[in-house]
Amino acid sequence: MKSFAPGVLALALSALPALAAEPAIKHFPAGGAGLPPGAVSAAGPAFSGAVQAGATLYVAGTTDVDRATGKPPVDPKDGARLVMDSIKRTVEGAGYSMDDLVWVQIFCSDLSLYGSFNDAYRTYFKGPLPARAFLGVDHLLGGAHYEVMGIAVKGK
């Protein structure tokens, strides 16, 4: 029995580096700038624009509501660029690229905008496009045309 205990101890100690390497959770602001996650403004609490767990980045839903006006652009094509620019700033602010996105989900308040959204969307990627869903909804916060969220993985 005496030879068993040192073996168990050695096995337990060998697991310590793996435990120490557990990924830290990191929070990033929306749009790559603005209020830090968890801050509170007159409009209510801010949210994390993205959360990284290990090599995976979870990108929160972002709409095409312009921060300066509080409204979406009149032209939905401009809204598509506005929301995708915000996603890009968030992703790059966390140290990822748009080509690290593996999954994207788009909510749209008018399915007739599908083609115009795609015209802008495809310009944000150099490599293969991520898996994606495009869903029609009755309405979005702030009268937005689009809300986009996604998941990115480093070294995919």
82 occurs within a structural domain: yes
DSSP-derived letter for residue 96 is -
What CATH number corresponds to the domain at position 34? 3.30.1330.40
48 found inside a domain: yes
DSSP conformational letter for 72 = -
Q: How confident is the model at residue 68 (pLDDT cuts 50, 70, 90)?
A: confident
- Interatomic CA distance for residues 135 and 69, integer angstroms: 26
In a domain, 12, yes or no: no
**76-93 vs 114-121: helix axis angle to the nearest 10?**
40
pLDDT tens sequence across 36-57: 444 444 445 567 899 999 999 9
